[in-house]
Chain A
Amino acid sequence: MRRMLLAVVPAFAILACGGAKEDAAEGGAPEQGEAPAGATKVAEGGASIGGTVKFTGTAPANPKIDMNEEAACKAKHEGQATDPEFVVNDGNLANVFIYVKSGLPAGQTYTAPTSPVVLDQSGCLYKPRVFGVMTNQQIEIKNSDPVLHNIKAVPKENRGFNISQPTEGMKTMRTFAMREVVVPLECNVHSWMNAWVGVLDHPYFATSAPDGSFKISGLPAGTYEVEAWHEKLGTQTMQVTVAADEGKTQDITFAAK
């Protein structure tokens, strides 16, 4: 009986509900993270928060990576390859993600840059290891190694992905729709490969450079909650007030655990 019904139903539907399909395609919930209608603008204030991320104490030695199985990757490293968990130069710490956590004008929305952020895989390591993007901004994931990488995102607020890049030069574009600090990225072929991306719905973020320096510019005057994140050292937050067009220096210090 049910089988008969199943056979009859589509026939009816085609005959009688000819318009249903087009009709049904309309509506639906908006895409996740789609910018709501209203004013959008790029960063346009004149203030900035910048400074240096400092590191006190002794950083643990970075883990050695056994790349014997991947000669092509091994060749890109001078000597023993290590996993750069702590990049410390003269007491300054790199790969800290600093962003405005709250304090921006309510209801204000920002447009993502049209240019993508490039995430490279080279020498079986991610470059950059820590970076930020805006929601719906393209991330160009590229493989500069002649070996198979898979790139898996394991977010909580966003939908993840797991794509393979079996050859050198392959590029894949991906986006994240929702604000999330941070989304872990990993390669399962090379279990040591990790990267983290901070996804924000505004452009006020930065990652500390090898000399520890960072700068968040284009801010309007205001008082902001700023958070700094490091993969091993966790987070710290601070209140920062900037006047219009002020260049505020805000150094951040992480201590060895």
Chain B
Amino acid sequence: MRKGLRIADCGNGRRIADGIWQIAKGVSGLREADFSNRLERRFATLHPCARIVLCALSLLLIRSPQSAILEAQAAPRGKAVYDKWCAGCHGDDGAGVGSAATYMLPQPRDFTKGVYQIRTTASGELPTDADLRRILDFGMPGTAMPGWESKLTENERTDVIAYIKSFSKFFAGKAPTAIAIGKAPSSSSEGLAAGRAAYQKLECFKCHGDAGRGDGKSAPTLTDDWDHPIRAANLAASWRFNGGSTVEDIYARLRTGLDGTPMPSFSDAVESKVVSDEDLWRVAQYVRSLSPEETPAVREVIRAGRVEGALPSSPADSLWAQAERYFVPLTAQIIVKPRWFAPTVDGVWVQGLHDGKRLALRLTWPDPSRSPDPAWDEWLGRVKQSVFEADGAVPVTQAGDRLVLQFPQRIDEEADRPYFLGGNTRRPVYTWRWTSNPDQATEATGTGLGKYVAAAASAVTHSARFNAGEWQLQLTRSLASADTTKSPIFREGQAIPVAFYAADGSNAEDDTRGSVSAWYAIYLDVPTPPRVYIAPIVTMLLTAGLGTMVVMQAQRREREHGRSNLEEYR
């Protein structure tokens, strides 16, 4: 089973060592079996030292019977690594049903099928070793699969890949080859428009939605090869793409498809000229343009700028375009029971503005469903079927969506912040609780996730809208507190601790099943004192004035000097 030169096979130090050991046993026997006569003749004329070096290096490069033997040797070594680090999720037999598997969605890969999402090979083909290595090294963002690059050694990773391949009979056949991928056309605004048009023509929106947020009409019905529900990717969050976020990565996914998922390959469509290769590149560029250029940085302090006029009245208000957006990542709530390991919302964008009297926050987060929505009943049913009901029965009917903001009851920079998961009875938190059904926002005192007492009258007002797979919510409250024993005064120039909780009712989420953030802070910008503006102007005028005086004096002196010279000459 000899294959072509494979750079991907390079870099394994032990292969050299194994090779040298083999050479010590007898170079000629090994080489005769492996190399062509031509090569062997050339090889025989070399200096013995050069032969040893060449043999060792060749072992690195050529998938010869030797490397098959090495791989066969690697697999048992890989078993030890696998049993220790992988089996908990992927199962002892590689079928993807380890003890932790049923808590998750998406569930761990079933290695017995040899079906992999992220490949450089055609639809239905096996992945290359380099493809497997990439996933092992960098993980699958948005799933429970972490990257192992820093956790396992080079040899351990090589070995474990050999072992993982041994779970599927398909790897015994012909080694797969990567498809050829050309170069992206240079990007332009016309190119993006063409990409948008092709996105429409190819009906990408059927699953991914018009704005790409994974809210297409078919999205609630999608299942993977194991009949588990699976999300259409949110194309506006490229940092979550499993196969990478560059235009080239996206184009590769369009060409190869994501096997085991509903995402098909468009290679046949290109080959039969249903779509041009350039248009497919345009789609990739357009998809990339839906996300921020850079992965959003996580900043702990959310600055709320001060506006002189009126505050925005709704999340659609154009004033919000001026306010900086802050990304707050959210993660599964897996501490307080009932826990939830597969939440929908993985981040909230926060903007803040205040006018010295009131604070307005705009919160936006992707959520493919406006819960409750009958179209998503099927999704909820599948979620319920697929996950292990570890902490009691998962809801059978969709609740509304919710977003909860929590603050300490008093802003005291000296004291510790309350417990981040909704406070406790010793240190309750002050919360803003918004639900989509009914659409309302209330103030409440919280003593733990899901444990709260709503205030008799709410000082927080809200405006919510659901737009193409995204919730947009504005919450507004006066800086003054209606009851300083339960709610804090928001002061300018002060960092106000805040934490977030989100839940998607269509995904079986509720008051504790959802996603949470750590503590962040909102800082209300102080009004700029007038001297900040005046001082530079005064300084500028003084400098200009003094400068002019110096120049004028010099010119006068020059003129007088010149005149006296003239008189002397005469």
Residues of B within 8 A of A69 (CB): 217
- Interface residue count for A (Cβ, 8 Å)? 49
Q: In the complex, A151→B2 CA distance in Å?
A: 34
Contact with B along A149-178 (1 / 0, CB 8 A): 011111010011111111100111000000
Residues of B within 8 A of A161 (CB): 123-124, 265
Q: Which of B42, B123, B221 has the most CB of A within 10 A?
A: B123
Q: Say yes or no: B268 contacts A163, CB within 8 Å.
A: yes
A58 near B: Cβ within 8 Å?
A: no
Question: Contact check: which of B39, B203, B269 meets A23 at CB < 8 Å?
Answer: B39
Q: Say yes or no: A166 contacts B202, CB within 8 Å.
A: yes
Residues of A within 8 A of B206 (CB): 148, 189
Closest to B113 in A: A156
Spot the interface stretch: A2-10, A95-103, A115-123: A2-10
Q: In the complex, A201→B262 CA distance in Å?
A: 29
Minimum CB–CB distance for B313 against chain A, Å: 35
Residues of A within 8 A of B225 (CB): 154, 160
Minimum CB–CB distance for A143 against chain B, Å: 9
A-B contact count (CB 8 A): 165
Residues of B within 8 A of A107 (CB): none
Contact with A along B15-47 (1 / 0, CB 8 A): 000000000000000000001101100110010
Q: Say yes or no: A159 contacts B124, CB within 8 Å.
A: yes
Q: Say yes or no: A190 contacts B218, CB within 8 Å.
A: yes
Known: A16-B54, A147-B203. A159 touches B170 (CB 8 A): yes
B10 near A: Cβ within 8 Å?
A: yes
A13 near B: Cβ within 8 Å?
A: yes
Minimum CB–CB distance for A21 against chain B, Å: 6
Minimum CB–CB distance for B454 against chain A, Å: 39
Minimum CB–CB distance for A134 against chain B, Å: 19
B459 near A: Cβ within 8 Å?
A: no
Q: Say yes or no: A13 contacts B58, CB within 8 Å.
A: yes
Q: Say yes or no: B36 contacts A19, CB within 8 Å.
A: yes
Question: Contact check: which of A24, A156, A171 meets B272 at CB < 8 Å?
Answer: A171
B64 near A: Cβ within 8 Å?
A: yes
A105 near B: Cβ within 8 Å?
A: no
Q: Which of A6, A28, A147, A166 has the most CB of B within 10 A?
A: A166
Q: Say yes or no: A6 contacts B11, CB within 8 Å.
A: yes
Residues of A within 8 A of B267 (CB): 163
Minimum CB–CB distance for A67 against chain B, Å: 11
Minimum CB–CB distance for A124 against chain B, Å: 12
Q: In the complex, A5→B2 CA distance in Å?
A: 23
Residues of B within 8 A of A151 (CB): 264
Known: A9-B61, A24-B63, A28-B1. A164 touches B202 (CB 8 A): yes
Q: Say yes or no: A13 contacts B61, CB within 8 Å.
A: yes
Which residues does A use to contact B, with CB under 8 Å? 2, 5-6, 8-10, 12-13, 16-29, 31-32, 69, 147-148, 150-154, 156, 159-167, 170-172, 188-191
Q: Offer 18 A-B interface pairs, CB within 8 angstroms, sorted by A.
A: A2-B13, A9-B60, A13-B61, A16-B58, A17-B35, A17-B58, A24-B4, A159-B124, A161-B123, A162-B124, A162-B262, A163-B265, A164-B269, A166-B275, A188-B221, A189-B203, A191-B218, A191-B221
